[in-house]
Amino acid sequence: ASSKAKLLCIQMPEPKKSKSRGKAAKSGGPAVLSVSCEQQAASSGTNPAATAKAADKEETVPLRSNPPPDGASTAINMPTDNDLKSSYNSLKGKEMFLRLQGKTPLTLEFKNLSYYVRVRNAQKTILDSLNGKFKPGRLVALMGPSGAGKSSLTNVLAGYISKNVEGDILVNGQIRNLRKFRKNSCYIMQEDLLLPHLSVHESMTCSANLRLCEPAEKKEAMVRTILDVLGLAECSSTRASSLSGGQKKRLAIAQELLSNPPIMFFDEPTSGLDSASCFQCVSLLKELALGGRTIVCTIHQPSAKLFEMFDQLYFVAKGRCLYNGPAGAVVPYLASRGFVCPSYHNPTDYFMEAVCGDDSTTPVGDAGEDSATTDGDQQKGECMVSALAEAVRSGQCAEFMRAYKSAVAKEKADAAILADNASATSSSSSSANSNKNPDQSLANNDSDSNANESSVKDDSRTGHFSTGTLNQFRVLYVRTFLSIIRDTQLTRLRLLSHVSVGLLIGMLYFKIGNDGLKVQSNAGCLFFCMLFLMFTALMPTVLTFPMEMNIFLREHLNYWYSVKAYYLAKTLADLPFQVIFPVIYGTIVYFMTAQPLEFMRYFLFLTICVQTSLVAQSFGLLIGAATNLESAIFLGPVTAIPILLFSGFFVTFSTIPVYLQWLSYCSYVRYAFEAVLQIIYGMNRNHLECNPDASADSSESLAPCLSDPDFFLKFFSADGAKIYVDFIVLCMFFVILRGLCFLILKFRTRASR
């Protein structure tokens, strides 16, 4: 309504010249009318979002703050025709996204909807035979106490839960096709799941490239328009980690608006926001609903000001529906059931307290009785839940709503008669008030909604996703690579640790590579190289990947991209870092410890270092994909213990008990250590130097000089090992672990559906 008022104001004819204003009034008439109409639309309350925008940024005519000097013109600085044209184009862009265009509005209906879970061989009912209907143009609030089932209901309706669900879910009167429905809806979760190292504009651009098959210029125009509509244009260059809570919420909404979904689900969108941000967020949802979308959101206990913005309330407690109707009718309905909301009391607070058994909320018939005990309050709350649930089940609630609609329709007809005799301003205000209260047009919208229930258009493309796998991989690769590069703290720590530990190992084992008296120490140096590379690749992945899983699940379940595109991009984006860091570390250690100066040995040594790092990272991805963060932190070091014990350094293969030798084949460090020993001491290496006089003062002078490299390989049971076999086995570990991780991701996405 506010946008229409703006358009009408801009197109109004120029008023007659006023003598008091002179030329200034003549040149600035249309702009003055436009500003006054905008202020009137914002102040009349036709649109809560317009009110919020008017409060944030008043559109006033720029006046001179100081009196003009003598002889100077007192004309007001008015916007030019170009300014008006730019404003008109901006309004067209806002209408494009605030209004649902190009897609059929969807009415969501559910009948006898039940959901249960298994708890210790027993069946626990979460949702009990719920019925409801959410229509386009309505902002629906799902409310209830903690554990009432409102989040479960949202997940079931959004298609995130499909197992152990009974009943029918209809879309425009037809049984819901889950695949089509998921493409025409979105689910914005309570947590702000955003990539922290991407800017607002980059996040929107990536989303547009993943979800839109349009030319680049059109996608860029759409991104800029949505950012302007949602008030994010000024912070488009700000990274997501630096945004406020309200800005993060708006960015999450902006990413989903690119596909223009007819149905949008929100899980407590105002959680963690201050009162001003809450008002802006709900105002935005109201605008989206008025644009023809079906907006369903769970909300805990909104303030009275926020509650007035909602069109429909669906209240659940203990899995049962206690109220389903216009938000403005909840107080008279409760009063009709014997529960009177006190004056100047928030209706939602009263409803919640009454259901939970607060003794301050007492039915009219029991107002004189004392209920001081907690047990009495709980019994009273249970009685209220049972009474209201039975009223909904028996149709008494629906009967009351029909009477309420009739009364509202009659009041609306009377107001229309009065409006015919009123002035143009009063008529405009009356029309605005009718748009402000969607409950008053509830009956009229029924016929329009039913007309659209005959069929559902599949506006999505024939495939699973909007773009091809190759395009998804390209966009995700760039996005992942940028996220890694911009995570300067982790990247610098990884580089610093590889350089500093490499120097430390090099100084500790300085020039021992060709000393026959220090072959044991050199073997320890080589084993520690593999150990360090394993942990530096394993633990960062274990710590970071579980946090990325939530973002991946949200975007994949909203049909942004496929699992294979994401996983391939994730694998290849981190590959350069998993190669560069081990090469830096291996080069420092190799030359400082005076290993054989042969290019082939040096190249093979670095190859095994890189391969060990890649296998360890794959193992970390497997743990991170299969578990949550807390479990991954515990399982990472614990699973590394048997891998190290059976690596062949602490206990050689020949001395391991027969019934445990099979575990040695499961240790990828064993093959890496075995290959490194062959690279350093195999390949027909010459005898090592033995100089007892050089170490006469050290304890190693008592150790035998192992000048024959073959004898040393036999000591570690590595004399029969082949470098190419160890390399192939490491490659097999890499492929198998990556494949298992991919299967786990597929399983988790299917389980999340």
**What DSSP state is assigned to residue 237?**
T
- The tens digit of pLDDT for each residue in 248-292 reads 988 988 898 888 889 999 988 888 788 888 888 888 889 888 888
**Residue 170 confidence (pLDDT):** 93
Give yes or no: residues 476 and 437 share one domain.
no
Average pLDDT over residues 59-69: 38
Task: Tell me the three state secondary structure of residue 126.
Answer: strand
pLDDT band at 88 (very low <50, low <70, confident <90, very high): very low
Residue 42 has pLDDT above 60, yes or no: no
Q: What are phi and psi of 475, to 5 degrees?
A: -65, -45
Q: Which of 42, 64, 86 is the last residue of a domain?
A: 64
CA 716, CA 649: separation in Å to the nearest integer? 7
Task: Indicate whether 614 pLDDT > 60.
Answer: yes
Tokens matching residue 520: 């044991």
| Cα distance between residue 588 and residue 610, in whole Å | 14
Average pLDDT for 699-709? 61
Task: Evaluate whether residue 537 is within a structural domain.
Answer: yes
pLDDT at 473 over 90: yes
Are residues 715 and 635 part of one domain? yes
Q: In sequence order, what are the residues at sequence separation of 6 or more whose Cβ sits closer than 8 angstroms to the Cβ of residue 431?
A: 1, 419
- Residue of 684, 679, 630, 478 lying closest to 565 (CA atoms): 478
Q: What is the pLDDT of residue 389?
A: 87
Residue matched to tokens 């479960």: 152
Helix boundaries (H) for 463-574: 469-486, 488-508, 519-557, 563-573
Note the pLDDT of residue 568. Answer: 93
Q: For residue 118, with 0-12 CB atoms within 10 Å meaning exposed, 13-18 middle and 19 or more buried, which class applies?
A: exposed
The rounded distance, in Å, linking the Cα atoms of 632 and 624 is 6
- Strand 312-317 vs strand 320-326: parallel, antiparallel, or unpaired? antiparallel
Given strand 320-326, what is the order of strands in its sheet? 185-188, 263-267, 294-298, 139-143, 312-317, 320-326
User: Which range of residues forms the domain containing residue 206?
Assistant: 195-260
pLDDT the model gives residue 249? 87
DSSP helix/strand/coil, 656: coil
Looking at per-residue pLDDT, the higher value among 610 and 229 belongs to 610
Dihedral of CA 350/354/357/361: which sign? positive
Q: Is residue 23 part of a domain?
A: yes
Q: Which pLDDT score, from 0 to 100, does residue 94 have?
A: 52
The pLDDT score that the predictor gives to residue 238 is 92
Report whether pLDDT(53) > 70. Answer: no
HSE (side-chain half, CA atoms, 13 Å) at 181? 22
Cα–Cα nearest to 552, from 749, 267, 278: 749
Distance from C-alpha of 260 to C-alpha of 103, rounded to nearest angstrom: 8
Name the nearest CA neighbour of 391 among 328, 336, 313, 327.
336
pLDDT recorded at residue 28: 38
Please state whether 138 falls in left (phi above 0), alpha (psi between -120 and 50) or beta: beta
Tens digits of per-residue pLDDT, 371-408? Answer: 444 555 566 667 788 888 888 888 888 888 888 888 87
Mean pLDDT taken over the chain: 77
Residue 635: HSE in the Cβ half-sphere, 13 Å Cα cutoff: 18
Q: Among 41, 64, 87, give the residue marking a domain's end.
A: 64
Q: Are residues 418 and 533 in the same domain?
A: no
DSSP code of residue 15? P
Residue 507 domain-assigned (yes or no): yes
Decide if pLDDT at 455 tops 50. Answer: no
Tell me the C-alpha distance between 445 and 19, whole Å: 48
Is 550 found in the same domain as 426?
no
In a domain, 305, yes or no: no
Residue 670 within a domain: yes
Contact between 585 and 707 under an 8 Å Cβ cutoff? The reply is: no
Torsion angle of alpha carbons 585, 591, 595, 598, nearest 10°? 100
What pLDDT was estimated at residue 17? 43
Task: Identify whether 299 is part of a domain.
Answer: no
Nearest-angstrom CA–CA distance, 418 and 420: 5
* Lowest-confidence pick of 41-50, 163-172, 699-708: 41-50
Output the six-digit token pair for 695: 């170490």
Q: 3-class SS at 293?
A: coil
pLDDT tens for each residue of 421-432 = 665 444 444 444
More reliable by pLDDT, 450 or 192: 192
Average pLDDT over residues 678-704: 67
Mean pLDDT of 602-624: 94
Q: Assess whether pLDDT exceeds 70 at residue 735.
A: yes
Is there a domain that residue 238 lies in?
A: yes
Dihedral, 456, 461, 463, 467 alpha carbons, nearest 10: -140
With a cut of 70, say whether residue 10 has pLDDT above it. no
Q: Are 538 and 445 in contact (CB under 8 A)?
A: no
Secondary structure of residue 142 in the 3-state scheme: strand
Q: What does the pLDDT read at residue 347?
A: 86
Contacts made by residues 274-278, CB under 8 angstroms, sequence distance 24+: 274/245, 274/246, 275/303, 276/246, 277/244, 277/245, 277/246, 277/249, 278/302, 278/303, 278/306
Residue 443, SS3 per DSSP? helix
The pLDDT confidence band at residue 102, using thresholds 50, 70 and 90, is low
Statement to judge: residues 591 and 727 lie in one domain: yes
**Final residue in a domain of this structure, among 260, 277, 295:** 260
Asked whether residue 87 carries a pLDDT value surpassing 70, the answer given is: no
Both 416 and 517 in one domain: the answer is no
Q: 581 with 727, same domain?
A: yes
Check residue 135 and give its pLDDT.
93
Tell whether 439 and 524 lie within a shared domain. no
Tally the domains of the chain.
4
Name residue 472's amino acid: Q
Are residues 545 and 427 both part of a single domain? no
Both 423 and 489 in a single domain? no
Which of 669, 481, 505, 676 lies closest to 577 in space, CA to CA?
A: 481
Residues 439 and 541 occupy one common structural domain: no
Mean pLDDT of 95-103: 63
Q: Judge whether 218 lies within some domain.
A: yes
Quote the CA–CA distance of 159 and 172 in Å, as a whole number.
Answer: 16
554 bridge partner residues = none
Residue pair 316/151 in contact (Cβ under 8 Å)? The answer is: no
Tokens 């190249």: give the residue: 603
Residues 522 and 652 in one domain: yes
Portion of the chain with pLDDT greater than 70, in percent: 74
Q: How confident is the model over 508-545, as pLDDT tens digits? A: 999 887 877 888 888 889 999 999 999 999 988 888 88
Rg, C-alpha atoms of the chain: 35
CA distance linking residue 232 with residue 243, whole number of Å: 10
Q: How far apart are CA 437 and CA 44, in angstroms?
A: 13
Token pair recorded at residue 223: 């991104």
Find, among 637, 677, 635, 475, the residue nearest to 560 by Cα: 475
Predicted pLDDT of residue 35: 35
d(CA 260, CA 250) in angstroms, rounded, equals 15
What would the pLDDT profile of 18-35 be if each residue is shown by its tens digit? 444 443 333 333 333 333
The residue among 417 and 256 whose pLDDT is bigger is: 256
